[in-house]
């Protein structure tokens, strides 16, 4: 069994991913920015809690030291993410996008993944079967949001899909740089969570399935690829 860290795991897909991996017999760390919510989630799941704010260098470094002292890490699930929405759940108009609003989303969705990769890859390289799952989105695929016939075409906002496109590049380049680590991206699909004001069409159980599957890859599993529930996706 593996030791797994899931960022942003106190609710939504992260919480469900933790639940399924605990049920499969793995040791799971619930990484959460809010200590009270994170501990409550970990206690409910039978998991461990580690305070981790992916937008803060010191927090990520402290979490890495804690997990190293506890015995190390086999699997990192980069799940923490944000999607800007209006108060009523509507999309932020393109005319209102600024450099600061874009930077705010990238701070969590992109730079946050870089922080955790930088801090935890040295630990993962000591594992016999190290794995990284970067949670991306089908909205990362420009061909989808550009195609008039694609369901993704409807999505009008800028920050979120741009950040997830960056996640895809990160996944490929890190997989090339660390061939001994299985590093893949996952598209959970349009899942009903707080992130999208519960507008998704899938359950969290359905959304977590591909992440859970990739988190349990063996040393001979694929790397540098993009997957949804149905299998590999073309970048």
Query: Two tokens at 93?
Result: 């108009």
Angstrom distance (rounded) from CA 29 to CA 45: 10
- Residues with Cβ within 8 Å of 38's Cβ and at least 6 positions away in sequence, in order, are 9, 10, 30, 31, 32, 49, 50, 51
DSSP-based three-state secondary structure for 195: helix
User: Rounded to the nearest 5 degrees, what angle is found at the Cα of 89, between the Cα atoms of 169 and 93?
Assistant: 65
Q: Which whole-number Å values give the CA distances from 191 to 20, 24, 73, 138, 226, in the listed order?
A: 16, 22, 28, 11, 18
Number of helical (H) and strand (E) elements in the chain, helices listed first = 8, 8
Mind telling me the catalytic residues? 137, 164
Angstrom distance (rounded) from CA 201 to CA 178: 35
């Amino acid at each position: 069994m593996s030791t797994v860290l899931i960022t942003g795991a106190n609710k939504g897909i992260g919480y469900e991913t933790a639940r399924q991996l605990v049920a499969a017999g793995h040791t799971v760390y619930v990484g959460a920015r809010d200590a009270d919510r994170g501990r409550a989630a970990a206690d409910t799941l039978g998991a461990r809690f580690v305070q981790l704010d992916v937008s803060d260098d010191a927090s990520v470094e402290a979490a890495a030291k804690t997990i190293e002292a506890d015995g190390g890490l086999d699997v990192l699930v980069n799940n923490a993410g944000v999607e800007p929405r209006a108060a009523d759940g509507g999309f932020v108009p393109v005319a209102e996008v600024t450099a600061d609003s874009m930077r705010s989303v990238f701070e969590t969705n992109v730079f946050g993944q870089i922080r955790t990769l930088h801090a935890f890859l040295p630990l993962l390289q000591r594992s016999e079967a190290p794995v990284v799952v970067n949670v991306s989105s089908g909205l990362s695929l420009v061909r989808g949001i550009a195609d008039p016939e694609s369901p993704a075409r409807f999505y009008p906002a800028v920050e979120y899909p741009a950040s997830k496109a960056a996640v895809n590049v990160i996944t490929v380049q890190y997989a090339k740089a660390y061939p001994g680590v299985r590093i893949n991206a996952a598209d959970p699909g349009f899942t009903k969570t707080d992130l999208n004001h519960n507008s998704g069409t899938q359950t969290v159980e359905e959304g977590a399935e591909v992440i859970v599957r990739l988190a349990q890859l063996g040393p001979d599993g694929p790397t540098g690829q993009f997957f949804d529930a149905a299998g590999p996706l073309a970048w």
